[in-house]
Chains A and B, each alone.
Chain A
Amino acid sequence: QKEVEQDPGPLSVPEGAIVSLNCTYSNSAFQYFMWYRQYSRKGPELLMYTYSSGNKEDGRFTAQVDKSSKYISLFIRDSQPSDSATYLCAMSASTQGGSEKLVFGKGTKLTVNP
């Protein structure tokens, strides 16, 4: 079993839809969770950062962590064509030792159609 699993998609939705992006993981020690957005031919940019379980909201974006199920989600409300990108989840067990321990999902490609 891979440490982090993420459905590569592609996912295509109409403008205004609610989008749900997900990752599952196997390492129960993970407690820091991140979502990155990567536009085509660009570097990933940090979208959301959460620690342990619970929800975090930022504008149209909500990150959710369920440690009991080893499952994290990113919800996008009122999706826009500008949200079309690849979304990568990332997670780590500890801030000790640096971010070389960060494990990334392979990314889900999202297209929002006008």
Chain B
Amino acid sequence: DGGITQSPKYLFRKEGQNVTLSCEQNLNHDAMYWYRQDPGQGLRLIYYSQIVNDFQKGDIAEGYSVSREKKESFPLTVTSAQKNPTAFYLCASSSRVSGNTIYFGEGSWLTVV
């Protein structure tokens, strides 16, 4: 089935450790995104990539890093520089063919203790 797969679903890490969240899509979409969702804050864009080997900062990129070496994959690293990393992280993708409608993965819950 076509879709966006995020892993792991739940992740616990100690403060000061880097952690990488995986995102894979088999929709053949060119663009991929990472959002962060906090209660009462809505969705906030962290990074996005419109094409392989290129990515741009979103509204809250500080403390995060990404790579886009393959069309299907867009991993997000939450570094120790991120002040408040505990959140629900959503990966998404879109295609110009579909009117740039965004499709989301199931999300990853990161808890830093």
Which residues from chain A contact B96 at a C-beta distance below 8 Å? 95, 98
Within 8 A of A (CB), among B58-113: 58, 88, 90, 92, 94, 96, 99-107, 109
Once A43-B107, A106-B40 are accepted as A-B contacts, the answer to whether A98 and B94 lie under 8 Å apart by CB is yes
Give a binary string over A5-43; 1 marks a CB under 8 Å from any B CB, 0 the rest: 000100000000000000000000000101010000111
Q: What is the CB-to-nearest-CB distance from A3 to chain B, in angstroms, rounded to a whole number? A: 11
Per-residue contact bits, chain B 2-18, to A (CB 8 Å; 1 contact, 0 not): 00101000000000000
Check B40–A8 contact: CB distance below 8 A: yes
With known contacts A44-B90, A104-B43, A106-B40, A99–B101 Cβ distance under 8 A? yes
Q: Is the interface of B mostly helix, strand, loop or mixed?
A: strand
Query: How many A residues touch the partner, as a band?
Result: 20 to 34
B21 within 8 A of A: no
Whole-angstrom distance between the Cβ of A58 and the nearest chain B Cβ:
14
**Cα of A45 to Cα of B92 in the assembled complex, Å:** 11
Determine whether the beta carbon of A41 is less than 8 Å from that of B105. no
* A58-105, CB < 8 A from B: 88, 90, 92, 95, 98-100, 102, 104-105
Q: B94 and A42: CB pair below 8 A? A: no
Question: A102, B102: Cβ atoms under 8 Å?
Answer: yes
B interface list, Cβ under 8 A from A: 4, 6, 31, 33, 40-43, 45, 48, 50, 56, 58, 88, 90, 92, 94, 96, 99-107, 109
The 3 A-B pairs of least Cβ separation, nearest first, read A106-B42, A43-B104, A99-B94
Q: A32-B100, A102-B100, A104-B42 are in contact. List 5 more A-B contacts (CB 8 A).
A: A41-B88, A44-B90, A92-B100, A98-B96, A106-B41
